[in-house]
Every structure is written in structure tokens, then in C-alpha cells.
Chains A and B, each alone.
Chain A
């Protein structure tokens, strides 16, 4: 299906177009990470209420057992991602700086699903594209919650909440997000090439749960082979595939909804407000696995890439493996490595310590060299306007950021500081190297209640 058949134009205004650097890891087929020596399952891997541990220490658990759960609606359970023995709960610091409780698991010598069979167990087998209508939406939503599914594109919002129907806000379209607009990352790309079938099955189930009549998979046009792969898998199911313009941040749901459907998600609102639900491709595959096979989210593909890692790879890893394990499996850091980033280079968080666990929302680890990372010396803002020309939401970053720095809340509010999605386009283009995103983050956090 060509772009001409979607309601939107396939593009959005402004944004940036950095070198995508996908060639570093794009051609590497997914490899299974050897079972690590230790696993640490954080109790918070999502937006919402933290889980409380559901097992005692020194208990034997199996792959898929519930390790933590929460009563709140906006939350998702966490599961054991290996067979092994639990230990006493400790604390860990997630890349975004949050200190959370975590349950360590010592993997058993013998795993029920070894590394050789893991890919097949997770993504292999038959993924039907018909005969799925019979399931009630509540059944699908329950299975998604029980599976601990959260948005795997990075936002980690509990998926069952997204798919729960709301009569006041009906859904007509499901968008499957295969854009992966961050430079360097290729985990969604490899999934679309190597396991397109569960993505389509999951999309059909998600649409059935949410009540969407139309399903469109959006993929940036710098991945023509992934577009082709998804078209072939989606055709028998009546699912459409749209190749959209490659522009950062096309993978942001506001930009994707605008580009594919021509609808503006209201500031402070959700795609639900314009009748749309957006789900990442990896989450979609996990939906299929949870609903049809009753298997929780325990593994994901993580791209370990960048000029600072010796042998970049796309790895299928158990959640809870440490960043150190992943980097070791890729030959370790090079001499020139200067920063390790959890996530992509635009919105990811720099890691001070590699002994922290990978979570459900970790799509990549990017290691940059010291010469590549963004300069620290800041100079005065000359009001050149490059940030205004780059902001995909049409905001004025320099005004919001400098007002936040000087605690001028009236100006920060006048320029809609709470609308900022922290995509980083502004800071990327700023010639004065002002830390715009950091200042706006600070402003949003410190903004007094009106």
C-alpha cells in the first residue's frame, strides 16, 4: 500500500534528520545472549505503580513465574526470566535515575529453555492471521496484563490500559509503530525482518481488544526491506503498511499519528483522544505470545551498537540481564569508548555503572566515542531560531529553557513548557550548546501548581 492511501501526508513539519548510523548493526542477525550468571528483576519497569515482590528469597522459580505484582490499574506484573533461585530483594538504580527495589535470581545450571531453543520458543511456531475474532476483548486485556506487557518502544506504559475500551473515547484505528527513529538502534528492524508474523497476529488481537477497525503499520522509509517483509506478512490479514518519511522523531506517537492519519493529538492528551491507539512492533509480538500461548514478557531484542563497542550485535536477552553482560557478549568496549547510553542517543540515558539490569523498555545500548558526544561548553543564546525550526511540536525551546533556568514560571507557561516531549531536536541543533532538554525537564518538574 503506498503512502497515497493513508489520510495523512506521511510527514510532519520540522524535526531533524541526523545520520541514522543503522548500518553498524542492521545486517547482524539476532543472536541469543548466553544465560548470564545473575539476573536482577526490578519491581518497576513501567509507568505506574511499583510492584511488590510476590516471592520470598531463596525460593526456586521457573521461567515465567510471577515475581512481583501490584493492585493498581496502571501497573504490570514482572516475571522470572530464567529458571533459578531468588535472593533477598535489593535496590538498583535505573538509567533514568530512579532507585527501585529489585529481586535477584541466580540462574540454574540447567535451563528448561536453553539458548539454542530460545529464539524458536519466543518467536517461532505458527502465528495465525485468521480465526482470532472469537476472543472477547476483556479476555485479551486480561491476558495482556497477566503477561506483564508494557510499551517496548521505551515509554513502558502498561499495554492493557491502552487496550481497555472506554465508551467515551472510542478507537477507530490501531497504529503499529515500526519506525525506530532513533539513530543506531536496529532491534525493531531485525524483529520485522526475522519475525514479522507474530507482529501481525498481535496487531489483530490488539485491534480486536480496543475496537479498532483499521490497522496500519508505520515504518520509516530508510528500512525498505522491513517494509517489504511486513507487507508480505500483513497482506493476508488485511493489515496495511505505510512507509513514512525518515525524520526524527517520526517514532514519537504524536508525530506518527499526524503523519499517518493527519490527526493532531491534543497537548496534554493521548492518541486515544483522537480515536487512535499506538503500539510498538515488539509489544505487538509480545501481545500475540501472551494471548495465544499464555507466555509473559520475559525476553526482548536489544541492539548493542555504536562506534565504541567492539562487535555490535542485536541480542535476544532475558530481562534482568545486566548491561555489562550485553557489552561483554559484544566484545567489550573499545579504547575510544566515551559514553554508554541506555536507549538511543537522542532520548537515552547515560549509564554511570554497567551493573544495572536491562528492563522491558530497553531497546538498545549505544556506546559512543569520547569525540562524538555532545560538547559541554555552553555559550550565550543568540536567538538564532534553529531550535524553533527544529521543534516538531512547534514550540520555542530557547524561551522555555531559559525561563526555566531563571525560574520565570510565567514565561515558561506562556510558551507551553508542559507540552515539551523532550525529544532533543532543539538541543541537537543549538549552536550555543545550551542544555535545552535538561532545562525544560527541570522546568517541568519545578513548575508550581497554577
Chain B
């Protein structure tokens, strides 16, 4: 600040800016960092169950996402935005939602679709309609159906270290693998139910991040306490899914998967706390968030029960993402004191 004196003849030069002149200390980067910290238990559990392979997959996806965003911004002549950590978060969530066995090019292509198509084409952070990680994963599910549904636990005869593609190579060479259906697939296609405690702790098969309910819950609660995710989304989603699952259990008492399996198994908790809570792709008003969350919860269960696939979180989120602009338009909150006199009705 120049000339900080107050002689009236030599007026000091003071920089000005519009108010408010004080601020709370949070930045966008801090919010993203909170998400990374909250994912730590899920990452930890994934590493425990899937060992080094999980680390490879996470590394491939995070590096790819950051690289794609950096290249895009440079090509467009814009300043770099990877410092806000949102690309890293997308990479991490993508990695945690796919099986570790998917080869490296699957992670790279998924990251490309997530960052370039679902995020940057739409205008970058905050302007996207679809959850980038889920959009990437949907593309992969369509193009690499086999790689995306190979759920394998490391076992005898498998290389204990090596890049994810090594598993396919080992399988082709005739090594024995222990394939084990994920809990939801087992319930749907084999009518076999895992004990709930396994689902809670997470030593079951599945995508890297979804296996442990406790890890997801711990991370999710951290996010809510830090107010980096809205509590309305997991509460609404889990309540709605629970209600539908309960109705199904009452209607079909012999089904293998009970309410507990649905809530603790598959990507339900991971989705509730880390995917559905993505702020850019969820409604802005509180009433809108409830509608969105209930919609996801109901859709997940409908897909799980009636569609040909055992897991429905990804599609449920993407479908509800599509409805967010409409939800926003229909849930403009009423101001204290009533609508402004010239406000047009929605």
C-alpha cells in the first residue's frame, strides 16, 4: 500500500474493492481436499483387499485425469486449473468405481471421457451436467463390457505385482484365478447372500472403493461434518432406497438380498456419499436436493431389482443428473417476505 500517511495535503493512495471486505477462509481447493481426505478409508480398504493392483489403477486414473485437464487448458490457452484438485478427485472416484483388473487403457480412456467430454466440453468445473466420473464409467461399461465386469480376487498363480493388464495376460496363459461374484451379482444371479459383516468391513469382491461400508460411512460423515457435502443427499438416497428395498423384501421374502444387503452392498454407500453429493451436478436448493436424492435412491433399487444388471448407482445418478436443471427451475425457494413483486412465476 503506497504512502500510508494521513497528511491532508498528500492524500494516501488506498486500493479499493467492493464489499464484503472480510471472508471465511474456505477455498474450492479446500473443499476438494476434504473429499480426498474423506476417500482415504475407502482407498485404504481397497488397497488391503486388492493390494498393489488397486494402487496401479488409482495411479493410472488420477494421472490421466490431471494430464487431460492440463493438456486441454494449455491447448485452449487458458490458465491451469488442476491446482483446484477437482481433476484428481474425478480420477480417484473413477478408479474406485471400476474393477482393478481393467487394463491401463481402460482407465486412460475413461479418464479422457470423464474430463474432456463430460467436464471440459461443457465449460469446465461447475458447468457440467453429468457427473464426470460416472459419465466416464458409463462409456467404459458400454465399450469394454468384459473388462468392466471381470471381478477377480488376487489368488494362487496370479502375478502378485504388476500392471492391471497382467491379469488378462496371466489368464490367457492358463493361470488359475479365483473369480468370485460381487455380493450383488451373487444375490441376483446365484441367490447367494454374503454375511452383512463382510459387507460392512469390505473383504469382498467389487470395485476398488465400494467394498467396505464402514470405510464409506466414515469418509462420508467426515464430509458432512466439514460441510463439504450436503447431508440431505445421502439421507434422502439411503432412506428412499431402504424403503424400496423393504417393500421388495416384504413382497418377496425368499429373495437372497435383504434391505441390509442392498444398503451395505455394492456402490450404494460409496454412491451416496461420494458420487451423488457432487455439488456441480446436484440441485442448488435444499428442496431440490431432497427430490434428487430420493430419485436416485428409488432408481438404484429399480435397476437392481428389475434390470439385467446387479448394480444401478451409475445409471441412477446419470439419469437424475439430467433432471437437475428442471428440478432447479421447479424448486426456486420462497424468499423470506414472499416473492419479489416483479418475479415471473416459474
Contact of B337 among A266, A385, A432 (CB under 8 A): A266
B336 A432 Cβ-Cβ under 8 A: no
Within 8 A of A (CB), among B259-300: 279-280, 282, 284-286, 289
Question: Is A268 in the interface zone, CB < 8 Å from B?
Answer: yes
Contact of B16 among A37, A333, A351 (CB under 8 A): A351
B284 A396 Cβ-Cβ under 8 A: yes
B22 A437 Cβ-Cβ under 8 A: no
Number of residues from A at the complex interface, CB < 8 A: 84
A267 B339 Cβ-Cβ under 8 A: yes
Question: Is B11 in the interface zone, CB < 8 Å from A?
Answer: yes
Question: Is B145 in the interface zone, CB < 8 Å from A?
Answer: no
B24 A347 Cβ-Cβ under 8 A: no
Comparing B48-56, B119-127, B207-215, the segment that makes contact with chain A is: B119-127
A437 B19 Cβ-Cβ under 8 A: yes
A396 B285 Cβ-Cβ under 8 A: yes
Q: How far is the CB of A379 from chain B (nearest CB, A)?
A: 5
Question: Is A394 in the interface zone, CB < 8 Å from B?
Answer: yes
Q: How far is the CB of B333 from chain A (nearest CB, A)?
A: 5
Question: Is A261 in the interface zone, CB < 8 Å from B?
Answer: no
Contacts of B4 in A (CB 8 A): 333-335, 337
Within 8 A of B (CB), among A351-382: 351-355, 366, 368, 370, 372-376, 379-382
B342 A346 Cβ-Cβ under 8 A: no
Contacts of A384 in B (CB 8 A): 31, 228, 279
Chain B window 226-247, contacts with chain A (Cβ cutoff 8 Å), 1 for yes, 0 for no: 0110100000000000000000
Chain B window 67-103, contacts with chain A (Cβ cutoff 8 Å), 1 for yes, 0 for no: 0000000000000010010100000000000000000
A383 B342 Cβ-Cβ under 8 A: no
B124 A386 Cβ-Cβ under 8 A: no
B23 A327 Cβ-Cβ under 8 A: no
Question: A373's closest neighbor in chain B, by CB?
Answer: B21
Question: Is A417 in the interface zone, CB < 8 Å from B?
Answer: yes
Chain A window 403-447, contacts with chain B (Cβ cutoff 8 Å), 1 for yes, 0 for no: 000000010011111110000100111111101011001000000
Question: Is B340 in the interface zone, CB < 8 Å from A?
Answer: yes
Contacts of B8 in A (CB 8 A): 37, 322, 324-325, 354-355
Knowing A413-B343, A433-B23 touch, does A380 contact B124 (C-beta < 8 A)? yes
B21 A341 Cβ-Cβ under 8 A: yes
Contact of A376 among B17, B24, B338, B344 (CB under 8 A): B17
Question: Is A205 in the interface zone, CB < 8 Å from B?
Answer: no
Chain B window 319-346, contacts with chain A (Cβ cutoff 8 Å), 1 for yes, 0 for no: 0000000001100111111111111101
Contact of A328 among B6, B11, B17, B28 (CB under 8 A): B6
B279 A416 Cβ-Cβ under 8 A: no
Question: Is B170 in the interface zone, CB < 8 Å from A?
Answer: no
Within 8 A of B (CB), among A314-341: 322, 324-325, 327-328, 332-335, 337-341
Question: Is B30 in the interface zone, CB < 8 Å from A?
Answer: yes
Contact of B1 among A370, A381, A398, A429 (CB under 8 A): A370
Contacts of B337 in A (CB 8 A): 254, 264-269, 393, 419
Q: Tell me the bound Cα distance from A373 to B19 in angstroms.
A: 10
Q: Tell me the bound Cα distance from A328 to B289 in angstroms.
A: 53
Contact of A354 among B11, B24, B328, B343 (CB under 8 A): B11
Q: Tell me the bound Cα distance from A119 to B285 in angstroms.
A: 51
Contacts of A324 in B (CB 8 A): 6, 8, 11
B335 A183 Cβ-Cβ under 8 A: no
A268 B341 Cβ-Cβ under 8 A: yes
- Chain B contacts to A: CB under 8 angstroms: 1, 4-6, 8, 11-24, 26-28, 30-31, 81, 84, 86, 124-127, 227-228, 230, 279-280, 282, 284-286, 289, 328-329, 332-344, 346
Known: A355-B8, A394-B335. 8 other contacts (CB 8 A): A268-B337, A333-B6, A382-B280, A383-B284, A399-B284, A414-B332, A429-B23, A429-B24
- Chain A contacts to B: CB under 8 angstroms: 12-13, 16, 18, 37, 183, 254, 258, 264-269, 322, 324-325, 327-328, 332-335, 337-341, 345-355, 366, 368, 370, 372-376, 379-386, 388, 392-396, 398-399, 410, 413-419, 424, 427-433, 435, 437-438, 441, 450
